[in-house]
Amino acid sequence: MRGALLVAGTHSDAGKSVVVAGICRWLAREGVKVAPFKAQNMALNSFVTLEGAEIGRAQAAQAAAACIEPEAAMNPVLLKPSAGGRTQVILRGKPYSSASAASYQGMKRELLPVVLESLEDLRRRFEVVVCEGAGSPAEINLRENDIANMGLARAASLPVVVVGDIDRGGLFASLYGTLALLSAEDQALVGGFLVNKFRGDATVLAPGLEQMSGVTGRPFFGTLPYVRGLGIDGEDSLALDAPRDVSPPLGRDSLRVAVVRLGRISNFTDLDALIHEPGVAVRFTESYEEILAADLTVLPGTKATVEDLKTVRTRGLDRALIERDKRGLPTLGICGGYQMLGGRIEDGVESDEGEALGLGLLPVETVFGEEKILARPEGRASLFGGVPVSGYEIRHGRVHRSGGEPLFVKDGGDEGCRVGATLGTSWHGVFESDGFRRAFLRWVAEERGLDWTAGDEPFAARREAQFERLGDLVAENVDREALLRLVESGAPSGLPFLPPGTVDLQLRTGALVGQGSEG
């Protein structure tokens, strides 16, 4: 089989990423060579591919679900909100430009050819490409020059499935309104709907689905049940508020981890592997008391080190971190958080400040360079039994250590810094290394005098099991034959048009404005 599909949603966090991952795993299990694609992604959680390209973490996770290696073509445009209302534009995995919200709209014209070339490249090499939209396709203020939703679908002749999150309420209005706000040409590509996160009795929902299909002329391809904790790597701050299950401890005690919630927090998926361990509770917080009382406090990565450092001081959280250092309580800084724990920060790239002073808890200084470091380093944790550790680097900051002990050793040098119970590293993803994660948490428990015991399940096994559950979710709850027909043949001809459509809406709005001005 050959074809492609765009999975759109009625709003952000409707479940597009999860649905794409589930379809990818289901097709991969069926022996189909499948790849994910997201033309434009806005996320501060990103990943470095083996080719040294930066893409959204969701696309990296979807590639893992498809049982393939992630690559730059799967996310040709990545937007990373930075300080001062600017956004860094990453094109094909490398920094391309900096833009405001307004200037980026014009920039999209020059990005569309790169997006289409990337998609076509994947379609040549894979049998099926499952595309993920961005936000909602009915954002009529953004429709002109759109490269992620219906603009992409029109340019590449992609059939579209719209996902609605019934858990939020207003499912039918959201689906109908989304379709009705599209132009006739856009509506012609929408082949049907999917219901996501359904908790209730299917027999009660069924009449509504039938009526909705009747008025729109489009089928429902399935209803996915709500499954707590079923998802892939989060990409925006909405994920920070999601409930996190804590498995029972194997020892007498649990470990409390407080993660400082920064305004431009990035790669907070670094903490997912900690949650995987039994008896480890992770909480993202802005509370002085929680940060001070935790067994481990993490100052995470950020896309705006200097700006977020100001916020840390404004909220008085710097005092909690300094007090932890005085008391010898375990504290870890990752990437931007590591830079904050150090001394001088010279930044002429991400901020207009030029220079700032960190918290002075680690003997390191940071100088930002124009060229971004993108790497997949490996080494050993010399201070934790020499266990192997790997991660990835995404940073402009070059950190120079003038004291303390290195956290990791690697070919050609060392990485990170430790002074007492305060540590820092520029490497993301280090807790996914099972040996290091367990050794590090055992050290935290010893420092706190707690009886905590590590688990024995590899983190990679947990992720693989998650992908399998997503594949099952699609296989068991979606009309697979109908979905495959849509992928192979596209949206059927003759689908009804629902007024008003964006063109009619613009005309009516203009008429109303004109009447008001004349009066």
Backbone angles phi, psi at 389, to 5 degrees: -145, 140
Report helix angle 459-477 to 57-65, nearest 10.
Answer: 70
Q: CB within 8 A of 445, min separation 6: which ones? A: 251, 253, 255, 295, 451, 452
DSSP string, 375-419: E--EEEEGGGTTEEEE-BEEEEEEEEE-SSB-SEEETTEEE-EEE
104-109 long-range Cβ contacts below 8 angstroms, 24+ apart? 104/79, 105/142, 105/144, 105/145, 106/145, 108/145, 108/146, 108/147, 109/145
Report helix angle 16-29 to 459-477, nearest 10.
Answer: 90
Residues 41 and 62 sit within 8 Å (Cβ to Cβ): no
Q: State the Cα torsion 362-368-369-375 to the nearest 10°.
A: 50
Give burial (CB, 10 Å; 0-12/13-18/19+) of 422.
Answer: buried
The answer to whether residue 396 is catalytic is no
Q: State the Cα torsion 166-176-475-157 to the nearest 10°.
A: -140
Q: CB within 8 A of 373, min separation 6: which ones? A: 393, 394, 395, 396, 398
Q: 143: which 2 tokens?
A: 């429709």
Residues 179 and 187 sit within 8 Å (Cβ to Cβ): yes
The answer to whether residue 335 is catalytic is yes
Task: Spot the catalytic one: 24, 396, 417, 428.
Answer: 428
Give burial (CB, 10 Å; 0-12/13-18/19+) of 173.
Answer: exposed
Task: Spot the catalytic one: 131, 335, 396, 417.
Answer: 335
The residues that are catalytic are 335, 428
